[in-house]
Amino acid sequence: MLEAQQLAFRYRDELPWIVNGIDLDIRPGEIVGLPGPSGRGKSTLAKVLGGYLLPERGSVRVDGAPLTRSGFCPVQLLFQHPELAVNPRWRIGEILGEAEAPPAALLDELGIESAWFERYPHELSGGELQRVCLARAICSKTRYLLCDEMTSMLDALTQAQIWRAILNIVKRRNLGLLVISHDTALIDRLCDRVVPCFADHPDAQIDNLPGDQKDQDRNSGEHHREEADIPPDSTDRPQTGIQL
């Protein structure tokens, strides 16, 4: 089981909590949905669960053991922008083999063609690159997959194709899956269970706004959807293809 207990995270001491007092558990083979608007810290929670960020309080345990900080992490994250999660100077073949070479059957299942191996990330479409990231994330040691708005940039057909493949893999390998999305129809379609832990968290949104703008937003009463894409949250995304 992937267990988070009383997790709390903020970027700096003087900044507000982004994640605060979150309990969450995902059993192997279980598909859990995490809906809600952007700016409520869902992505940050995913990064804490995946070991990209260290929680200030609380703990993350994977099948009873604390999250490892070295070697291949059994909890793998997939992001909305796959182009930011790979090294742009590596060929697809190198990216795929980063942890261990994915078996041919998996590549087939994900529709990854060997002709891509010689190409660079920018030569693939978003859907193709996302499937490459998926193949890289699904290793023999992978136990849990956390998908953060993974298909929200993709058209409906590509989206459905990717999720069908994930569902098959997850089922066969008994992986636990967390689906983070603001598309409630997608969550309803995929998940066994939904955790509404961010639905009522009005304080977490103003987190990353730069100084004076924070006050301004509070005054104008429009804080709740504004955190979305601002810098501090995106700079810690792995840009180099390094996986924990």
Partner 1 sequence: MLEINDLSISFSSYSFGLRKTETCAIRSLDLTITPGQIMAVVGQSGGGKSLLAHALLGILPRNARVTGGMLFKGEPLTIKRQAALRGRQIALIPQSMTYLNPLVRVGNQVAQAARLGGVPGRESKGAVSRAFTRYRLNQKVISCFPFQLSGGMARRVLTATATVGGAELILADEPTSGLDPASSGETLAHLRELADSGKAVLLITHDIEAALKVADSLTVFCGGVTLEVAAAGDFSSHGVLRHPYTRALWGALPGNDFVGAVPAAMTIAKNGGCPFSCDCPKSDTVCNDMMPELKRLYNGLVRCHYA
Query: What does the binding site for partner 1 look like in residue numbers (CB under 8 A)?
Result: 37-39, 80, 111, 125-127, 152-164, 182-183, 185-186, 188-190, 209-210, 212-213, 216-217, 219-220, 222, 225-231
- Write down the least CB distance from residue 147 to partner 1, Å: 14
Burial 207-234 (b: 16+ CB within 10 A, else e): bbbeeeebeebeeeeebbebbeeeebbe
Residue with tokens 């099948």: 63
Report the residue number, 141 or 189, with the smaller CB distance to partner 1. 189
- Write down the least CB distance from residue 142 to partner 1, Å: 22
Report the residue number, 13 or 212, with the smaller CB distance to partner 1. 212
Report the residue number, 100 or 155, with the smaller CB distance to partner 1. 155
Report the residue number, 62 or 112, with the smaller CB distance to partner 1. 112
- Check if the beta carbon of residue 238 is closer than 8 Å to that of residue 52: yes
Report the residue number, 30 or 227, with the smaller CB distance to partner 1. 227
Report the residue number, 63 or 113, with the smaller CB distance to partner 1. 113
Closest to 208 in 3D by CA, of 64, 14, 68: 14
Residue 53, both tokens? 């960020």
- Write down the least CB distance from residue 19 to partner 1, Å: 18
- Check if the beta carbon of residue 127 is closer than 8 Å to that of residue 157: no
Say how far residue 236 (Cα) sits from the centre of its chain. Answer: 13
Q: What are phi and psi of 196, to 5 degrees?
A: -90, 40
- Write down the least CB distance from residue 161 to partner 1, Å: 3
Residue 95, both tokens? 């990216």
Sequence-distant (6+) residues with CB within 8 A of 225 are 37, 38, 39, 205
Report the residue number, 23 or 192, with the smaller CB distance to partner 1. 192
- Write down the least CB distance from residue 162 to partner 1, Å: 7
Beta strands in 55-205 (DSSP E): 57-62, 65-66, 75-78, 144-148, 176-180, 193-194
Side-chain half-sphere of 126: how many Cα atoms within 13 Å?
Answer: 14
Residue with tokens 């007092």: 21
- Write down the least CB distance from residue 6 to partner 1, Å: 27
- Write down the least CB distance from residue 194 to partner 1, Å: 14
